[in-house]
Amino acid sequence: MTPGRVALVTGGSRGIGRAVSLRLAACGARVAVNYSKRADAADEVVATIGQAGGEAVAIGADVADPDAVQALFAEAAERLGRVEILVNNAGITRDELLLRMTPDIWDEVITVNLRSVYLCTRAALRGMLRGKFGRVVSIGSVAGLAGNPGQANYAASKAAIVGFTRSVAKEVGSRGITVNVVAPGFIDTEMTADIPDEARERAVGSVAIGRFGTADEVASAVAYLCGDEASYVNGHVLVVDGGLAL
């Protein structure tokens, strides 16, 4: 990666986003670490990057809120410079079987997981077009490709990210900007920490590699797509699931 690139990682404070923030910083990027509620977690990531000799800032913003997203990109530009690499990572689950799924939890998941990707990508593209360079990587999910009972809202949001990505990839590919998806399977983070033991065992049994993945393993795929080496990879869905979806 060209050193000094400015990266913004939504939900960069915990789990996969934290690993991505640390990895991009280790690759030489200057990183805006976004969070929504837990400023302490974002501050820890910024401090860890600083201790390793990198540069990062924490910026709080609900990425589902258009005004907050505008303020987020304005602050990132002011403190680090124009965003050249965007990782749309922030996401939530609100699992329920469809017959019990209320409009509230449907909307919440679609808004946080999908509207955020639209808002942040649109906000980032203006500067990327000016700079004739950009990398957008959104974190999808195997659930968006294969489906998962109890996750119709989540799977719909993640499937939509693929259609969104392929459309925008076609819109801006000729301008030095690539737009891709990384679709993880089961990854050990707080999001999956509450899976009951029995369900976890079943899940592990369906992964060819025979274990949950780590956030670092997802970060490796994201860093590749954000780097100069991936200049001809566009509109791609890179599955990182240990063979779950085979």
Q: Which residues bind ligand NAP (CB under 6 A)?
A: 10-11, 13-17, 34-38, 41, 62-64, 89-92, 112, 139, 141, 184, 186-187, 189-192
Structure tokens at 163: 């259609």
Least distance from ligand NAP to the Cβ atom of residue 63, Å: 4
Kindly provide the b/e burial profile for residues 209-239, where b requires at least 16 CB atoms within 10 angstroms of the residue's own CB: eeebbebebbbebbbbbbbeebeeebbbbbb
| CB nearer to ligand NAP: pick between 133 and 182 | 182
Structure tokens at 241: 């699931």
Least distance from ligand NAP to the Cβ atom of residue 181, Å: 10
Torsion of Cα atoms, 5 then 63 then 225 then 179, to 10°: -110
Q: Are strands 85-88 and 56-60 parallel, antiparallel or unpaired?
A: unpaired
Give strand pairing partners of 58.
33
| CB nearer to ligand NAP: pick between 13 and 234 | 13
Is residue 35 annotated as a catalytic residue, yes or no? no
| CB nearer to ligand NAP: pick between 133 and 186 | 186
Least distance from ligand NAP to the Cβ atom of residue 140, Å: 7
| CB nearer to ligand NAP: pick between 115 and 175 | 115
Least distance from ligand NAP to the Cβ atom of residue 40, Å: 9
Q: Which of 35, 118, 154, 232 is catalytic?
A: 154
Compute the distance between CA of residue 188 and CA of residue 238 in angstroms, rounded to an integer.
Answer: 18
Torsion of Cα atoms, 126 then 129 then 134 then 135, to 10°: 60
Least distance from ligand NAP to the Cβ atom of residue 141, Å: 4
| CB nearer to ligand NAP: pick between 15 and 127 | 15
Compute the distance between CA of residue 16 and CA of residue 33 in angstroms, rounded to an integer.
Answer: 12
Alpha helices in the chain (DSSP H): 15-26, 39-51, 66-79, 103-110, 116-131, 143-146, 152-172, 197-205, 215-226
Catalytic residues: 154
